[in-house]
Every structure is written in C-alpha cells, then in structure tokens.
Amino acid sequence: MNSNRTGKATRADVAELAQVSTAVVSYVMNNGPKKVAPQTASRVRQAAESLNYHPNAYARALRKGSGSLLGIIVPDFRNPYFALLNEAIEKEAYGRGYSTMFLTAHSDPELERKSIEKMVDREVDAIFMAPCQKVEELERLKDYECSFVMLENNVQIPGFACISSDFCEGVRLAIDHLVWHGRTNLVMFYGEDNSRDESRIRVWYEKHEEHGLRRGRVYRSRYTHESAYRAATAMLDAGERPDGIFVVSDFEAGGVLRALHEHGIRVPEDTSLISFDGTYFGLETWPQLTSVRQDIPRIARGALEAALNPDAPGMQIIPVDMTIRESCGCHVA
C-alpha cells in the first residue's frame, strides 16, 4: 500500500499518487496559503485518505517554528478544582488547534522549576502555572522563549499575564453569608504561607471590623485535604469551637469536615462551613458544601487568550458567586 519502507506515508507519496507537486499537497492539507483547483484538491484529498496520510507533527513544528503546544503545571492532580480546570483548558486549547501537556509540581518550588525546564525543552508555546516561587525567581522566566500565564494569583506579577478568580470577593461573600446565619465566632483555613498574596487575609480582617466581630483566627495548611485535616484537628484538640468556618478550597474542606465529624461537631447545626471552589466535590461530602464558585470555563478561556494574545490584559480578575448547598445551614428543615 505505502510505497516507502517505514509503512508511513509522507507528503511525497501523496503527491506522487495524486500526480501533483508536494507544494500542492501542503496547500490542500492546510487550506492555503495558495488556492488550489477544486478538482486537484479532491484528488489530493483522496490520495491522502487512501494512503492514510497524516502530516508529521514534528516536521511541521520544526518548519513553522511552533508546535502549537501548551504546558500546564498543576499543583496537584487530586485537587478537584484542577481536575476541572485541566479539562476546561484542554477543551479550550484543542478548540484553537493547540495540544496540552500537564505536569505536577506539588507546590514545590524545585519541582516547579524542573517542570518548567521540561516544558521549555519540549518547546511549548506557553506555560500556565500557579507559581509557588518567589517573585525574584520568576524574573528568570523572562529569559525563556515561551510566554507565561500565572494562575491563582490575585496580585499582578510585573511582566506576566495573571488570571484568577476574585478571591477577595469570595472571602466577602463567605463572611457575609456566615454572619447572615448568625455566626460570629469565625475561623478561616487558608493555604500555605504565601507572601505574594495575602490580600484575602486583609479582607478577612476588614470584614470582621465591618461586622463588628472579634478577629477570627486564620489557620494555615498546605493545599491538601490531609494537611487541612491536621490543622483542623489541632484546632479542635486545642479546644477552639468556631461556629462559622471558611475553607479556602473544596479539597481542604474535605479534611476540615472529617476533623469536625471525628470531634462530634455537627455541620451545619453546630458550625456553618463554607468553602471556595464550588466543584463537584462539594456534592460528595456529607453534608454537601456551600461554596464560593469559581467560573472555571471563563478562567480557562481567559488564560488561553492571555497566552495567545500578547496584547491581552495583564491582569484578569474573574467574578465568583455562591453555590448554596447544605453545609452553611440554609437547607436545614
């Protein structure tokens, strides 16, 4: 069937079969840049079909100087938010003719650097990441050929496109709802210490003042349910009994919920709990999570635009809203 040895047809085989030059094959396969007579074109298409011809992606990428490849560095594949975001980015990317490649970094700066290196070596056109290194370190990224889009970052990093949900508004929404439920003794479970973006903490305290509340404590954990579980257990073991809790991600909320259950604290009767993300994960917990919802499709779209358009806005803040389920106390009979 194929005329060359490897069993894989090249444009030359197609050209020969269709009795045209290789250029014409290229024009047909790419719909341009030159016009081709309809007859010729269909002859080429037929030949390509019959030889099961697929243009070699590496050759094309080499020639064009771009392989239409995007890299996404994911802190944790287990985190439901990233499961959804990955899928949304994948969908958005393929719609624009780009492929995606994912790598995990586990919120480890060293691993993150290695992941970037791997992706750059693969000649990705752009990298999406939720950076966990210092701003000074990020400076070095500017030496790379590829562009970067920083996710999960509410504060502009000079020189990089950034996109994230409106985290501060999320905190406001959560506190207001907790207060609306009559809760006054609040705590927040926040991610790892991250000197780059403490704006949520600022807003947390501002809101407390606004409502005339005693300043609720902020507990730190890494962005995993195990870590949040440990932090919550430590809090409860120390005797603290908040009546309203805000957790910075659905994934961590699972850990907090578990600690509460184990201490016999009923949710939402004894304490209201609101998380951030609004993913499917909140449907699986008991009780289901009331959550500040991130607009994941929009984040994916915005991220793609930022990566592909050099003149896209440097900082995109995406609105959030509330998904009311059970853990806040709204649906208790």
Partner DNA sequence: TTGAAAGCGCTAACAG
Partner DNA sequence: CTGTTAGCGCTTTCAA
Site residues (vs DNA, CB under 7 A): 4, 6, 8, 10-12, 19-27, 29-30, 32-37, 39-41, 53-56, 59-60, 62-65
User: If contact means CB under 5 to 8 A according to the sort of partner, which of a second copy, DNA, none does residue 209 touch?
Assistant: none
Cβ closest to DNA, residue 2 vs residue 156: 2
38 preceded by a cis bond (ω within 30 of 0) = no
User: If contact means CB under 5 to 8 A according to the sort of partner, which of DNA, a second copy, none does residue 27 touch?
Assistant: DNA
Cβ closest to DNA, residue 34 vs residue 78: 34
User: If contact means CB under 5 to 8 A according to the sort of partner, which of DNA, a second copy, none does residue 184 touch?
Assistant: none
Q: Closest distance between DNA and the C-beta of residue 296, in Å?
A: 33
Cβ closest to DNA, residue 12 vs residue 234: 12
Q: How far apart are CA 54 and CA 10, in angstroms?
A: 8
H helix count then E strand count, the chain:
13, 12
Q: Closest distance between a second copy and the C-beta of residue 305, in Å?
A: 22
Q: How far apart are CA 255 and CA 228, in angstroms?
A: 5
Q: Closest distance between a second copy and the C-beta of residue 239, in Å?
A: 23
User: If contact means CB under 5 to 8 A according to the sort of partner, which of a second copy, DNA, none does residue 7 touch?
Assistant: a second copy
User: If contact means CB under 5 to 8 A according to the sort of partner, which of DNA, a second copy, none does residue 37 touch?
Assistant: DNA
**Tally of CB atoms within 10 A around 229:** 19
Cβ closest to DNA, residue 18 vs residue 171: 18
184 Cβ contact list (under 8 Å, min separation 6): 213, 214, 243, 244
Q: How far apart are CA 154 and CA 243, in angstroms?
A: 28
242, 185 in Cβ contact below 8 A? yes
User: If contact means CB under 5 to 8 A according to the sort of partner, which of DNA, a second copy, none does residue 86 touch?
Assistant: a second copy
**Hunting for tokens 């793609």 — which residue is that?**
304
Cβ closest to DNA, residue 145 vs residue 209: 145
- Residues binding a second copy (CB under 8 A): 6-8, 52, 54-59, 61-62, 65, 67, 77-78, 80, 83-84, 86-87, 90, 94, 99-104, 118, 120-123, 143, 145, 225-226, 254-255, 257-258, 261, 280, 283-286
Cβ closest to DNA, residue 39 vs residue 195: 39
Q: Closest distance between a second copy and the C-beta of residue 287, in Å?
A: 9
Q: Closest distance between DNA and the C-beta of residue 96, in Å?
A: 17
User: If contact means CB under 5 to 8 A according to the sort of partner, which of DNA, a second copy, none does residue 102 touch?
Assistant: a second copy
Cβ closest to DNA, residue 36 vs residue 187: 36
76, 249 in Cβ contact below 8 A? no
Strands across the sheet containing 272-277: 217-220, 186-190, 244-247, 272-277, 290-293, 321-323
Cβ closest to DNA, residue 24 vs residue 299: 24
SS (H, E, C) 261-285: HHCCCCCCCCCEEEEEECCCHHHHC
Q: How far apart are CA 34 and CA 27, in angstroms?
A: 6
User: If contact means CB under 5 to 8 A according to the sort of partner, which of a second copy, DNA, none does residue 285 touch?
Assistant: a second copy
Q: Closest distance between a second copy and the C-beta of residue 35, in Å?
A: 25
Q: Closest distance between DNA and the C-beta of residue 27, in Å?
A: 6
Q: How far apart are CA 36 and CA 177, in angstroms?
A: 63
186 Cβ contact list (under 8 Å, min separation 6): 175, 178, 208, 213, 216, 242, 243, 244, 245, 246
What is the distance in angstroms between the CA of the first residue and the CA of the last residue of the chain? 71
